Structure 1
Amino acid sequence: MSDELLQDFINETLESLSELDVHLIDLESDPNNPDLLDKIFRVLHTIKGTAGFLNLKTLGRIAHAAEGLLDCYRDGAPVDADGITVILAALDAIKDTINEIDPETGREPDEDQKILLDLIRDVAEAAKEAPREGDQSAIELPCEDDAVEEQSSETAEEEDAPATVSESTQAASPAGEGASPALARAPEPQGPKSVRIGVERLDNLMDLVGELVLVRNHIQQIARSVSDRALNTPVQNLSQIASELQDSVMQTRMQPVGNAFKAYHRTVRDLSKELDKQINLELVGEETEIDRQVLELIRDPLTHMVRNCADHALENTEERLEAGKPKRGTIRLEACHEGGFIIIRIEDDGRGINVDQVRKKALERGIVTKDQISAMSDNRLRSLIFEPGFSTSEAVSAVSGRGVGMDVVKTNIEKLGGTITVDSEEGVGTVFSIKIPLTLAIISAFSVSVGDEVFAIPQLNIVEIMDHSHASPSYALETINGEKFLRLRGSVYPLIDMASAFGIEGNGATTVLVCQVGSEIFGILVDRVLDTEEIVVKPLSKALKDVKVYSGNTILGDGRVIMIIDPNGLFSTFDIPAKVSDEEGDEPVEVENDILQVVLFRAGGHMPRAVHLSVVARISQIETANIHRVSDGRLMVQNGDSVLPLVCPVGYSPDWERCEQKVIIFEDEDSSMGMLVDEILDVVETDVVIDISSDTNGIIGTAVINSTATEIVDVSHYLDEAVHNWFNGEQRYRVREEVRVLIVDDSQFFRNILFSMLASRGYEVKVACGPEEALDMMSRNEFDVLVSDIEMPRMTGLDLIRRIRNEGPQSNIRAVAISSHGLDEDRAAGLEAGFDAYLSKTDRASIFEFLLGSDEKRIREDA
């Protein structure tokens, strides 16, 4: 027997059986559906025939017996739950037998299936005797001894039979008269649209792509260090090709999450009968794709959670009716993509989690102390169900035990680099939310320094990054009872100092990474964040397999091997206290940040990019054939009666084979420019905080937007690149004499935008991160104009201008307030405080009008 033929039979049969589970459950609720019956019958008939050809006698007998029962139903016998149950049992036996076939000899296991075959035969006999519609005679169920002989005969007949028409071909064939049966049966031959590739080959290909990404990173590092312009284009091309190859290989590993979801139809059906509960299963987002390896690893955790929902969460019929709920409970599985991750929600409309009961059990089992539990929120209490051995169940259940296992679920999900959280309302239901990376091979991470050491921390767990070198009322580092804590917006969280925890001599830690692991929030103190990049995860050596703080290692672009920190393991390894209550009783500090609207897009690579929506005129699509390159290398496209200059974001090379190209169009006065991109992702409102500054022209830095590291594009750089005289020509907003401007804004995003906008027009510009730094700079330097934000921590822009007007320095400086708050009362408050003008941050024209007024005033004073 050919090993390849046997393996093909095993693969195809297992795929078919997973579909049969769903079809049989559908048939149980829709027993008069002949199409379903035919589909199930055809699959079992094929299994029986192929098993006979391969001399797999046990498989053939089981499939033959199940086929006979189905034939009774096709002949008019009523479909009932007992019949569906024994056919499902037959499918289970077929799966078990297939999984135990010796791949070398092709021999089946020696297990005797007589009990199952007798059971199927008894149900079939009962079905033949049951009353049925019509006058058709019952067919005879063949004896077991005749099964193999009949299979061989049928197999021979099938080999000689003409090819049957596929369902899709039949559906597409015209039904009217004159349609040619010959054409319907014999479509024109076509080449294969798909081939089977061994999983090992795909995994090996993914490993090679990972190595290519490492080489790409190394070459990029070298190119940046030598500053050779001749390298820029080939390095960018290499980066683009590596990214596209990575995407292509990733797609070969992706499978719809529905491949795992559909198995739960059978699980819920069996649980419904075992628990005597009416349960409905809803699946949403089955087409959402996920890496095959991740899909396999989440099957068991999801199965356990579905069983828990059915057993513990959903009430029985009487309880539901008393509570005013539908008698049929619902379990809902939902999957969707969010950033570079997949979100899976398991939701039920059951009794919810009783917080008081959780509190009582947690104290009884010694999981927490009275002092600890008194400071816990309801959600933090609910998360205790993930602690080892915790359960609110009073009795042992054969379905889900004593609840032991949710800790294992959490552990398994965290091994994938994911998190799990729970949200529940008593009497309404519970939602478990799982967040896991799309793939385990290549992930986005921040590289951080601690002393002379460098570590990688997965982006998945990082909520916020803060520089604590600048004092702020919204966050601070404190010591309480000898332990370090992070005070963040009125709440106090534990803090892990990486230098002291790892015994490393630090170089002055200034950066806190705020991490979330499940419901736990804590800070990680490092020296600084170096960069964000896609890293290839390498497994730990056996010597480090028990070290929980590491999840693997990776190789940086400069060739250094660094460890990847596992925040889950870090939090559980170090004995840090849980979040404590605010002993001072302070009210939470409300910090109002500027909320921006940004356009998220993708232009090469995996990391999304963003531009401020206020500078975007429109988003369009242009034909690639209409794009031309002029003599100086710039790209142009005809735009009505004018020519529109085009630019490409740094590191991006468009796919010139496309028929059309997406373009973001920017306008300023009479000039316009288009930026070529791959795709527009979204328009979102966000508080942009630049976590990592960039030395790359055209990129302000990196910020976390929608839980994803995002490059912020400096539009001003590209405006000047596209139209050489955009900023430098004799435009009406260009300064005529030297004017010194001080910009005060706690948002690095706006500091950079304003700096580029003003400096490119000839102004001498300095920037300050906050009012305190501005006052210090004004005491040592002379400025002509102050441009200040309003909403800033510790001291607002209103407080700053009042202090300047009353105490100095430079009490007579011309000052303009810029803010995203433009109501009349806001403007009145700004002018009353001492500003000469109060303008919107997006009103560039008015800002320049004000600055030119300063220019004219200076000229008059000098004269």
Structure 2
Amino acid sequence: METSQYLEMFIDESKEHLQSINEQLLALEDSPNDLAIVSEIFRSAHTLKGMSATMGYDDLANLTHKMENVLDLIRNKKIDVTPDILDVVFQSVDDLEAMVNDIASGGNGKRDVTEVVSKLLMIEKGEDPNTINSKGTDLSSGQKAVKSISNKVEKFDQFELTVIEQSMEQGFSSFQITVKLRDDCLLRGARVFMVFEIIEQIGEIIKSNPPVEDLEEERFDFEFTVIVVSKENGDDIEKRIMKVSEIESVIVTELSIDDIKSEQSKPEQDKKNEETATSISNSLGTNESKSDEVKEKEKSKGQNVTNKTIRVNIERLDILMNLFEELVIDRGRLEQISNDLNNAELHETVERMSRISGDLQNIILNMRMVPVEQVFNRFPRMVRQLARDLNKKINLEIIGAETELDRTVIDEIGDPLVHLIRNAIDHGIETPEERIKKGKPETGTVVLKAFHSGNHVFIEIEDDGAGINREKVLTKAIERGVVTAEAGANLTNKQVYELIMASGFSTADVISDVSGRGVGLDVVKNTIESLSGSVTIDSKQGEGSIFSIQLPLTLSIISVMLVEIQDEKYAIPLSSIIETAIIKKEDILNAHNQKVIDFRGKVVPLVFLKDIFEVPVTKEEDGFLSVVIVRKGDKMAGLVVDSFIGQQEIVLKSLGNYLNSAFAISGATILGNGQVALIIDCNALIK
């Protein structure tokens, strides 16, 4: 049977079933005697097994079948639901997700699942799954099983081998870097991200073990290996990586082409892996899986369901969006020509086209909108595991998961939210004993809430933990040189809290010294601001904290105020603007060597854009200044321009890799007259 045409549907539906299983397992943990939940999980697993067998992914079908056997025992009341059994089932789901992700990235869906299969078999036999490790050895002495990645030379496919050979011919060296994190490292994903950032600055990553997907989802213990080509030497690479906190060791091995080719020629390990996979396949019962699939197919033949939705490849939506962006640019050009020619019929036609394209724009943007539920769905499982690891009791409440955001924004907010939620649980929520002493319920609460407001989406992470200690944050910030003692004394509480997101404040010492907050929050802030968003913090010591993220609905087409500075045009996003004003030069005041104005009772610093962007002076100034008042959180600034042109919808275009470091510029757009206007990043201008 030709299955390639069904591959995308298989991947999408498999992910949906796995997500459903995850959600139902969490519900089962809260209601272990609810057999209706078990039946729901069983049905999803059974469907996944049948789909996998039909598509020829036997490893996926076989593992699902083995998990299904355990669910069947629970459903028939032959075993009781316990946290240990759920841990094994969750581990099975992790492996199944990894297999599906491998298939989605072009792989064959094969994976070494010996450990979890052994545990599932032990559950079937009524034995304790915690008494074996991946090799089946006894762990009853209390020793924790830890997978270790050996420092032998990695195996490469032909493409990777060609890249390495060509790099060496051009004077690069190849290194195998094995990084071991400390056993007490809780934010493993964040550490991996920081290590990869350093490596990407010094060379090109060829591959990693475990794969990047597993590292991002923290599906590894405390050790991982990266192959990189670089012109740096091994000692320098080791020193730079060791600067990342919570790393126990870094082993950098320079590889020769002979070492690499020698490893490629070894067939023994491949043969051993194949034998292991065959053995597991036989033990799981492939034939039964396929017979079940036949039953599924026969059952579904008589179904006639009217479906009012269709699946559309996201790449097609991206292409559609790109074409419409070009249409918006041409629309602006036509409007400009119509105004110049002053032809009534042309003007009427262009106006009609503008209305129609505006409606088309709304439809296309809505097609790209997806609920934040896609991101939120991963958190209940993560919270459960983290609470077990930290011996804490956590209740996660999710509100507004149906709130929609553009897919381009959704793709980027996952990691910052993971970091903030882990931070709230790890360092915000106290242990049950501490909470009882403080007169709080022993179960801490983390609320994840999303809602629309105007052209923005707000996402809030609120906890009822220890809160942030102003004095400790301020003391640490002064020690780190983030702020001076004199300036710190005049800061509001919110301004002090925001110091924990300052670059240089995120150090390992902060974990214990500053109410447990601060590790890596500068990365969160930078990511959100790169999405034209902002983060604010509010907290009450002893009562908890709220991290509020403001994001634009879309990043592709935005509303801006066009302004003129001498002969150049710039665009300021309307989402940052409070209002515009014309002021007299004599109204400008000086405070701390900074020119400011009194704006509705508040002192607002002025930013002269012609100086920031070094615009050539071609026109004389008069006695008035045009000022755009912009805001970032509770901070404001007045951007001084020469004149206002007006409001317009523009297409945001990237400046490319070579100009991405341009200060206070987030992109560019093409105006109706063909001129390029730079888009100002207001966040970078407000200090």
CA change 1:211–1:248 in 2 (3 A) is same
Residue 381 of structure 1: how far off its partner (Å): 0.8
Deviations 1:197-241 (A, max 9, x none): 211110010111111122222222232333333334322211111
Counterpart pick for 1:404 among 515, 519, 536: 519
1:85 to 87, 90, 96: 87
SS of the residue corresponding to residue 440 of structure 1 reads coil
Amino acid at match of 2:403: T
Call closer, same or farther: CA 1:417–1:373 in 2, change over 3 Å: same
Return the alpha-carbon distance in structure 2 between the equivalents of residues 4 and 507 of structure 1: 66
2:449 is matched with 334
Task: Give yes or no for contact 2:401–2:450 (8 Å, CA) kept in 1.
Answer: yes
- Alignment root-mean-square deviation, CA: 2.5
Measure how far apart 1:510 and its partner are: 1.3
- Indicate the residue corresponding to 1:844 in structure 2: none
CA positional deviation for 1:144: 5.4
Separation (CA, whole Å) in 2 of partners of 1:88 and 1:481: 59
Deviation per CA, 1:424-476: give whole Å up to 9, x if none.
Answer: 111222111111111111011111111111100111222232211387xxxx4
C-alpha deviation, 1:102, in angstroms: 7.4
- Residues 47, 296 of structure 2: 8 Å contact kept: no
1:373 corresponds to which of 464, 488, 493: 488
State whether residues 446 and 531 of structure 1, in contact with CA within 8 Å, keep that contact through their aligned partners in structure 2. Answer: yes
1:162 aligns with 2:299: yes
Percent identity reads 36
Unaligned runs of 5+ in 2: 130-279
SS of the equivalent of 1:162 reads helix
CA contact (8 A) 1:450 1:507 kept: no
- Displacement, 1:121? 1.7
Distance 1:151 1:455, change over 3 A: same
For residues 85-124 of structure 1, what are the structure 2 equivalents within 5 Å? 85-101=87-103, 107-109=108-110, 111-124=111-124
Q: How many residues align?
A: 529
* CA 1:21–1:115: 2 relative to 1, 3 Å: same
Aligned to 2:288: 150
- Residue 345 of structure 1: how far off its partner (Å): 1.1
2:598 to 480, 487, 492: 487
| Structure 2 residue 566 is matched with structure 1 residue 428 | no
Match of 1:662 in 2: none
Q: Counterpart in 2 of 1:512?
A: 627
Structure 1 residue matching 2:584: 3-state secondary structure: coil
CA change 1:186–1:441 in 2 (3 A) is closer
User: Helix, strand or coil: the match of 1:538?
Assistant: coil
Partner residue of 1:320?
A: 435
Contact 1:345 1:433 in 2 (8 A): yes
**SS class of match (1:496):** strand
Deviations 1:564-599 (A, max 9, x none): 11112334xxxxxx6xxxxxxxxxxxxxxxxxxxxx
C-alpha offsets along residues 630-661 of structure 1, whole Å, 9 cap, x if unaligned? xxxxxxxxxxxxxxxxxxxxxxxxxxxxxxxx
Q: Which residue of 2 aligns with 1:11?
A: 12
How do 1:575-586 residues align onto structure 2 when only pairs under 5 Å count? none
Q: Could you say which structure has the higher helix fraction?
A: 2
Name the CA distance, whole Å, in 2 between partners of 1:359 and 1:498: 32
Alignment of 1:285 with 2:396, yes or no, is no
C-alpha contact (below 8 Å) 1:72/1:128 kept by paired residues:
no
Q: Normalising by structure 2, report the TM-score.
A: 0.73
The alignment partner of 1:427 has SS state of: coil
**Corresponding residue SS for 2:648:** strand
3-state secondary structure, aligned to 2:588: strand
Deviation at 1:6, TM superposition (A): 2.4
* Counterpart residue type for residue 515 of structure 1: V
Counterpart contact for 2:663–2:684, Cα < 8 Å: yes
Counterparts of 2:504 and 2:590, CA distance in 1 = 33
The answer as to 2:604 corresponding to 1:497 is no
1:569 correspondence with 2:684:
yes
Residues 79 and 507 (structure 1), Cα distance of their counterparts in 2 relative to 1, 3 Å cut: farther
2:371 is aligned with 1:270: no
- Post-superposition offset of 1:402: 7.4
Q: Distance in 1 between matches of 2:299 and 2:48?
A: 19
**What is the distance in 1 between the residues matched to 2:644 and 2:491?**
31
Change (3 A) 1:356 1:401: closer
Alpha-carbon shift at residue 128 of structure 1 (Å): 11
Output aligned runs, 1:717-728, within 5 Å: none
Does the 8 Å contact 1:254/1:289 carry over to 2? yes
- Judging changes above 3 Å, is the alpha-carbon distance between structure 1 residues 127 and 338 closer, same or farther for their aligned structure 2 residues? farther
Q: CA deviation at 1:323?
A: 2.0
Q: Contact between 1:334 and 1:346, CA under 8 Å: does it hold in 2? A: yes
Q: Which has the higher contact order (CA 8 A, sep 6+)?
A: 2
Q: Deviations over 1:84-122 (max 9, x none)?
A: 111111111111122223765x6234x421111101222
1:741-780 matches, cutoff 5 A: none
Q: 1:143 to 1:234 in 2, by over 3 A?
A: closer
CA contact (8 A) 1:3 1:103 kept: no
| Equivalence map 1:751-830=2 (5 Å) | none
- Please say if 1:441 is aligned against 2:579: no
User: Are 1:555 and 1:562, in contact at CA under 8 Å, matched by a contact in 2?
Assistant: yes
Deviation at 1:483, TM superposition (A): 3.0
Query: Which residue does 2:67 correspond to in 1?
Result: 66
Task: Rate the CA distance shift 1:223–1:470 in 2: closer, same or farther, 3 A.
Answer: farther
How far 1:562 moved relative to its partner? 0.8
TM-score by length of 1: 0.58
Q: SS in structure 2 opposite 1:410?
A: helix
Matched with 2:366 is 251
